[in-house]
Chain A
Amino acid sequence: MSNQKKRIVKIEPLKQMVNVDSKLAWKILEDAIREIYNQNVSDLSFEELYRNAYYMILQRFGDKLYSGLVTTLTKHIREVSELIEAAQGDLFLEVLKRKWEDHNKALEMIQGILMYMDRTFIPSTHRTPVYQLGLNLWRDNIIHSSQIQTRLLKTLLDLVQRDEQVKLYLGEE
């Protein structure tokens, strides 16, 4: 009997090793994603973030991690959307471009931290990979936002027109 007890105990450490508090793990990741968008990353530990995401997936909290990611990214992108909408006049394109570049850089980091989810959970549950998800959310919330879409189109057309006028003017000279 004592021998059998030992064998049962052997299984336990494995379970404990994987045992992370999924709420705490997600809190750490959520805060980190915010800091990444705030470009405040030098204090973030890649290993710690990767480990938390890794154990969340290993412990079958993939759904929680993925839906949390979608919510957080969406929330952030909507905030960005408001900022872009609020930009006045010529600043509009500038803000849009800067936010787009920030978004891309942030996505690359998030993709790195959540690499394990991209490798296992996402293919097995047929979901959209992290980077593509970020691009889709940007498209749906910013490019397709009625305000931004109209304004973007108008601004670009204005620029083209201004460019044409300058060419005409120079040509006449």
Chain B
Amino acid sequence: MTGSSSDSKVEIISRLAQWRIESFGPCSYRRSDSFKLGIWNWHISIEKNRYLYVRLFPEPSRVSKEQPPLARFVLRVSSCGPNRRPYISPIHERLLRTSEDFVWPVDSTFLGRIVIDVEFLDLKICQLNGGDPISIWPGDGATQCLATQRTLCCLSRMLNEEILTDVTINMSGGTLRAHKAILSASSPVFQSMFLHDLKEKESSMVDIEDISVESCMALLSYLYGTIKQDDFWRHRLALLGAAHKYDIMDLKDACEESLLEDINSGNVLERLQEAWLYQLDKLKKGCLMYLFDFGKIYDVKDEIDAFFRNADRELMEELFHELLTVWKPA
């Protein structure tokens, strides 16, 4: 191995990598230790022949194979001898996979100490599926992720510690405090409620009769981004009703998806009723499929009488229509 001596180490600061080689030694080939820049481990190698060949390449690995770097960089080779001006490469932009992808020949009459600089102007992750390469700078992903987490944390505190709340929600079982701005940004109904000079705007109080305190808390924690999965699950029927009433589409979709996940013969008629009431086409299709295509209507034949007596006429028509499509006379 040629890369084991102490002057194989490459120092990095920001986007600049620098390899200081004290002496070339008797070898004609040297490879630097790997250094990490971006998501890749890199090597620089030099080979002394008629010229000095400088190579730059990522360490062979899964990352460099699946997400190879597209690098824009400048190389500079300098030695400390008198009257030696550094060699500066033009700006290269290369897809670098192996040590064969980039070679830069320089005059080889170096003696003594050599310093090789690699300055990366940009580093992009090449998309193998043909998409545009994505620059790793500025590190948007991490910053954005951090900002999102921080915002969620703030929102959670605003709700739980009632920081500067400006509206009280009264239900028959208790009250909750919230923010008009958050409610308005989440729902056009609340936006209109706090826009016009009706009672709610003046009094900063909303009396909601058709939701329990627990379900309303689940709704608020959804709007403030802090809802827990089991709370969502436990309150999803109430959340569905509220999402429909207050026109919160994403929540309505999430509830529908969740209700689709556990249709069984014990709840299918109830689900069908919900789907009908709130115009949930996917859930309705799921229920009808469960009943007719999968023949589970036989499991609920005792309940279906009561259901038929109570169900909406239009829903009944649809049920029969579905029945006729599936029914194949023997």
- Name A residues whose Cβ lies closer than 8 Å to a Cβ of B: 1, 4, 7-8, 10-12, 14-15, 17-18, 41-51, 54, 58, 60, 108-109, 112-113, 115-116, 119-120
Q: Which chain B residues (172-225) contact chain A, with CB distance < 8 Å? A: 188-189, 192-193, 195-200, 202, 206-210
Which residues of B from 297 to 330 have beta carbons under 8 Å from A? 302-303, 306-307, 310, 312
12 extra interface residue pairs, beta carbon distance < 8 Å, beyond A8-B303, A8-B306, A15-B310: A7-B270, A11-B273, A11-B306, A18-B277, A41-B198, A42-B198, A45-B200, A47-B208, A51-B245, A109-B198, A115-B188, A119-B247
A51: chain B residues at CB < 8 Å are 209-210, 245
In the complex with contacts A4-B302, A46-B193, A119-B247, A60-B312 CB distance below 8 A: yes
Q: List 6 A-B contacts (CB under 8 A).
A: A1-B302, A14-B273, A41-B197, A46-B193, A46-B199, A49-B198
**Does any Cβ of A come within 8 Å of B28's Cβ?**
no
Q: How far is the CA of A120 from the CA of B241 in the complex (A)?
A: 15
Give chain A residues whose Cβ lies under 8 Å from the Cβ of B200: 45-47
What separation, in Å, do the CA atoms of A119 and B278 have in the docked complex?
A: 12
8 A Cβ contacts from B210-257 to A: 210, 241, 245, 247
The 8 closest A-B pairs by CB, nearest first: A112-B192, A46-B193, A46-B198, A8-B306, A45-B199, A109-B196, A44-B198, A4-B302
| A115/B302 contact (C-beta < 8 A), A11-B307, A42-B197, A45-B207 known | no
In B108-122, which residues have CB < 8 Å from any A CB? none
Q: How far is the CB of A39 from chain B (nearest CB, A)?
A: 9
Chain A interface mostly helix, strand, loop or mixed?
helix
**Nearest neighbor of A54 in chain B, beta-carbon distance:** B245
Q: How many A-B residue pairs have CB under 8 A?
A: 79
Q: Which residues of B contact A (CB under 8 A)?
A: 188-189, 192-193, 195-200, 202, 206-210, 241, 245, 247, 266-267, 269-270, 273-274, 277, 279, 302-303, 306-307, 310, 312
A50 touching B207 by the CB < 8 A rule? Answer: no
Which DSSP category, helix, strand, loop or mixed, fits chain B's interface?
helix
CB contact between B269 and one of A11, A42, A113, A119 (< 8 Å): that residue: A11
Q: Which of A44, A60, A108, A115 contacts B199 (CB 8 A)?
A: A44
Instruction: Report the minimal beta-carbon distance from A112 to chain B, rounded to whole angstroms.
Output: 4
- B166 → A minimal CB distance (Å): 16
Contact pick for B210, options A17, A44, A60, CB 8 Å: A17
